[in-house]
Chain A
Amino acid sequence: MPAPALAAAGGQAGGVTPGAGSDPSPPIDAASLARALEAVVGPRGVLRRRSELAVYTADGLPGYRKFPSLAVFPANRAQLIDVVLVLAEHGAPFVPRGAGTGLSGGALADDVVLVGLNRLHRVLSLDPENAVAVVEPGVVNAALTRAAAPFGLYYAPDPSSQAACTIGGNVAENAGGPHCLKYGVTLNHVLGVTAVLSDGEVVTLGPGASGAESAGYDLLGAFVGSEGCFGVALDVTVKLTRAPQAVRTLLADFMSMDDAARATSAIIACGILPAALEMMDGPTIRAVEASIYAAGYPADAEAVLLAEVDGLAAGLDTDAGTIARICTAHGARTVRIASDPADRARLWQGRKKAFGAMGRVSSHLVVQDAVIPRTQLPAVLARIRDIATRHRVTVCNVFHAGDGNLHPNIGYNAYDADESARVDLAMREIMRICVDAGGTITGEHGVGLDKIGYMELIFSPSSLAAQCRLREVFDPERRMNPGKVVPVHSCREWSRRPS
């Protein structure tokens, strides 16, 4: 039986044999590469000194430090394409990077080239009538909402890092956020991407701003969440959302996590789809209240539930009242409904800055990101408590309760080897129970480097091999963001499979 060769689909640049990613590549002439890149972006657009590169050795994930071989910062679309072409000519692996706020180590470049996209930060067009914008990848999430606000529009996905993170990074990670419960994640808001592939080819994915229906394979859907392994976005077409007529934010506090978890399930089941439904546990509440982000949460509570409903003004108070009644029926001590925008912002600040507030408590913080079926919340939270006790660590839970997306996080001192080891064990056990409960290993942070060891917990070898196959459609040489998402041996197995 003849082996199917990807190359048959239409010649490859560089004469590389597709699928043969296990071959060692020839050494890259770093000096010649740097000169070629400087010719594209100018000498100031390339960083080579270790002291300059130190800024780019980490992202939002603690515990990893990787030096890129060099960093290059194209100033515009044409330069970005040329940079990718130069990298292709040199056979150089590279990592695209937005704001570096990711929490899975996805933007770390381990002795490979880092391509910084933050200079491509223009909103290219905004069509208020069709609620569509076209932006460069380095546009900051919150800046897009600011640009859309005069038209009564906003960009709905709202990761907690939205003040800094970029749309390009959001697309790479398929980023979520508290309001994704009602409005959906990045995937549901991206209408098109123009991307440059690792060989320099520019492709258009999805209908983009044409407004026409897509036809053919949903390669846009495949691209979103591909963690910088499929291509670099040159521009992204996003759907904007009409600002709601009215918003109500509720805060309910409970004396047990169980009660709050059961209230969450009851709210979801009652037919109201809240814009957001967030939970924080006692340790988180106390960390927030002790910090400059104090939001007025009752400091003795064991859980608070932050619920928001938005949309048409008519009937919204009824929905808010229904949620309040459900909370009370499930043991909430008090339910407060934020009366004005300032009060709402304050309630949200505690949630959005919760991770920052932990900084007061410990020098390092590891944030987990797992998703479980919503009905499993009480059981899994109880098991997380047991794990924490057993390993003598303090787990803080702050998470998107409405969609079962947990963020257990543990503050610790990374210089204490014993404590670090206990934290690591606890995190692994937490991940295992989430998977056993029917969940998944990441809801919005991505696999990156951090979760790659968990991929085989949830995917069979053939499923992982299929993912490799898809990756190689976009990047046959696997030069983009090497060593991320899918374990290399899963891909090797596919490459070697008998045909």
Chain B
Amino acid sequence: MTAPSEAWAPQTAIGVQDAVREAIATRAAIRIAGGGSWLDAGRPVAPDARVLRLDTLRGITQYTPGDLTLTARAGTPLREIAEATAAEGQWLALDAFATSDDGGSIGATIATASAGPLAYALGLPRDIALGVEVVTGDGEIIRAGGRVVKNVAGYDLTRLMTGAWGTLGVITEVSVRLRARPEVDRTLALARAGPAESAADVAAGLRTAAMAPLAAELLNPALAARLGVTATGSPVLLLRLGGNAERVASEQMEAGKLGDGAVIDTDVWRALRQCERYSPGAVVVRWSQLPSLVANTWRHAVECCAGSPEALIHASLERGVVRAIIPAADTAALARVLHPEDRPSGGPVFVGRRIAERLPARLWSAEPAPGTTDRLARRVRMAFDPWHVLNPGILGEGARDAADRHGGSP
């Protein structure tokens, strides 16, 4: 691990540029750290990497409420943005899962394309980012996109940088689209009588119900109990309804068809975002396939976690994404998650994608690294980080790439 004294802590984009240029000159690897809350998650970066801190690069640089857009330096915590926008009756609808109190930094949220329960209704990071300032891996400061809500000028480097985990450039500033807060923002907790398989009914019910919730998240009993929303031992559906009073009242009536509900404090969403905290050191994975198959995905997750009573499972039903937080000690559950093909029982086949968010370091090497090995992806990396100085290894790219950095010309 790099000693803190060796970390770069730039105050400006030019400071970031200096760091990247120094890294290129000395063939050093850079480990980009926003708020630092992701450092222990994700794939290990080359062990000799030097940390580039971005928490020193913070602050909202432009916010005109009437434009419903905001620009902030990369290290700005989401909580700071939430406070500034709440004062104007607005919000940034990025609610990625994060362990830190401050919600993580805007730069890291965009760089990792992390999404939370609001994503189905209000968009993924790729839908919300309007523009970025980036220091590319060859040490150039570039800008992409802009500060306006509609923009097709030039090739879309904003989308390219969103979700690239810093491997194409260090994001130094981000412009985002904001939304006006709904007049009423109400959360319901619906207890689902019956077995966990009821995910199928919930999902089907949601599709046909006369409602368009801001979020619809199914919780397994363990997570529901942790969040204090029920103690009945059944799964719980959290519904977030927004709009004018009349609309929300109507949706609330409609929600009654999906289960017995109670209005609860909207703060539950903050607790859900941080639910990894209930299980320090846990393994975090998520599965996704077609939304119409979300009940199968849910069952797959539940079966994998059988025998792990502390495993926390939740699903963004409309996106078809199921996420699980599994205590590292529950090795049997972990083995089933990572090697479902070894599973004895013949449940529904899961044919979608499993993405690991947090794994013990030793397990990362066996994880597939989708989307990093094909020709186009390798060429993108070569075009923007030709010396592989930026977060080398974080996408699971092979030993060859690391050799490129040290050995010079590929």
Interface residues of A (CB under 8 A from B): 1-6, 8-10, 127, 129-130, 173-174, 176, 180, 184-185, 187-188, 201, 203, 207, 210-222, 224-226, 229-230, 245, 265, 268-273, 311-316, 318-319, 322, 371-375, 400, 403-405, 438-447, 451, 455, 458-460, 462-467, 469-474, 485-486
Contact = CB atoms under 8 A, between A and B. Distances in A.
Chain A contact residues: over half helix, strand or loop, or mixed?
loop
B292 A271 contact: no
A466 to B, nearest CB: 5
Contacts of B372: 216
A9 B155 contact: no
A211 B290 CA distance: 4
Contacts of B179: 273
B148 A440 contact: yes
A221 to B, nearest CB: 3
Contacts, number: 277
Interface in B364-382: 370-372, 374-382
Given A265-B66, A451-B153, A462-B141, A210 B180 contact: no
A440 B146 contact: yes
Contacts of B149: 371, 374, 403-404
Given A215-B371, A217-B163, A373-B64, A466 B410 contact: no
Contacts of B136: 466
Given A217-B164, A269-B65, A470-B157, 18 more contacts: A4-B410, A127-B292, A130-B292, A180-B150, A187-B127, A215-B370, A222-B157, A222-B159, A225-B155, A265-B66, A314-B210, A371-B149, A438-B147, A439-B146, A444-B150, A460-B141, A462-B142, A471-B155
Given A312-B212, A374-B68, A176 B150 contact: yes
Point out which of A220, A225, A373 has the most chain B C-beta atoms below 10 A from its C-beta.
A373
Point out which of A211, A319, A451 has the most chain B C-beta atoms below 10 A from its C-beta.
A211
Contacts of A245: 210
Contacts of A221: 126, 156, 158-160, 162
A51 B291 CA distance: 52
B200 to A, nearest CB: 13
Contacts of A184: 123, 127
A446 B152 contact: yes
B225 interface: no
Interface in B88-114: 89, 113
B81 to A, nearest CB: 18
Sort A-B residue pairs by CB-CB distance and give the 4 closest, nearest first: A216-B371, A221-B159, A4-B386, A315-B247
A373 B69 contact: yes
13 contacts: A184-B127, A187-B127, A218-B113, A218-B159, A221-B162, A269-B68, A312-B247, A373-B67, A375-B67, A440-B151, A466-B157, A469-B384, A472-B383
Nearest to A222: B160
B148 A226 contact: no
A283 to B, nearest CB: 24
B307 interface: no
B226 interface: no
A8 B168 CA distance: 17
Contacts of B159: 187, 218, 220-222, 224
Contacts of A185: 150, 152
Contact of A219 (B211, B290, B376): B376
A271 B85 CA distance: 13
B355 to A, nearest CB: 6
Interface in B128-149: 136, 138, 140-144, 146-149
Nearest to A131: B291
A318 B249 CA distance: 13
Contact of B151 (A6, A201, A371): A371
B243 interface: yes
Contacts of A203: 374, 376
A215 B168 CA distance: 15
Contacts of A372: 148
Contacts of A226: 155-156
A176 B151 CA distance: 10
Nearest to B167: A217
B35 to A, nearest CB: 23
Contact of B154 (A188, A403, A455): A455
B69 to A, nearest CB: 7
B370 A216 contact: yes
A2 B408 contact: yes
Contacts of A458: 146, 153
Contacts of A438: 146-148
A271 B249 CA distance: 17
A441 B370 CA distance: 36
A322 B180 CA distance: 15
A228 B288 CA distance: 31
B163 A214 contact: yes
A211 B291 contact: yes
Contact of B152 (A311, A375, A443, A466): A443
Contacts of A130: 290-292
B201 interface: no
A486 B142 CA distance: 15
Contacts of A441: 153
Interface of B: 24, 64-69, 89, 113, 123, 126-127, 136, 138, 140-144, 146-160, 162-164, 168, 179-183, 207, 210-212, 243-251, 286, 288-293, 320-321, 352-353, 355, 370-372, 374-384, 386-387, 395, 404, 408-410
A467 B157 contact: yes
Contacts of A218: 113, 126, 159-160, 162-164
A222 B212 contact: no
Contacts of A217: 160, 163-164, 168, 371, 376-377, 380
A439 B148 CA distance: 6
Given A216-B370, A473-B383, A269 B180 contact: yes
Contacts of A404: 67, 148-150
B317 to A, nearest CB: 13
Contacts of B381: 9
A287 B383 CA distance: 50
A403 B130 CA distance: 13
Contacts of B123: 184, 188
Given A185-B150, A221-B162, A458-B146, A318 B291 contact: no
Nearest to A372: B148
B142 A445 contact: no
Given A2-B408, A460-B142, A485-B154, A270 B180 contact: yes
Given A129-B292, A315-B245, A400 B164 contact: no
Contact of A210 (B160, B289, B292): B289
Nearest to B382: A9
A319 B371 contact: no
Nearest to A321: B244
Contacts of B66: 265, 268-269, 374-375
Nearest to A314: B250
Nearest to B162: A218
B146 A268 contact: no
Point out which of A269, A313, A400 has the most chain B C-beta atoms below 10 A from its C-beta.
A269
A314 B253 CA distance: 11
Nearest to A467: B155
A220 B152 CA distance: 15
B374 to A, nearest CB: 8
Contacts of B249: 314
Given A270-B180, A312-B211, A315-B250, A373 B160 contact: no
Contact of B210 (A3, A216, A312, A471): A312
B154 A459 contact: yes
Nearest to A470: B155
B148 to A, nearest CB: 4
Nearest to B179: A273
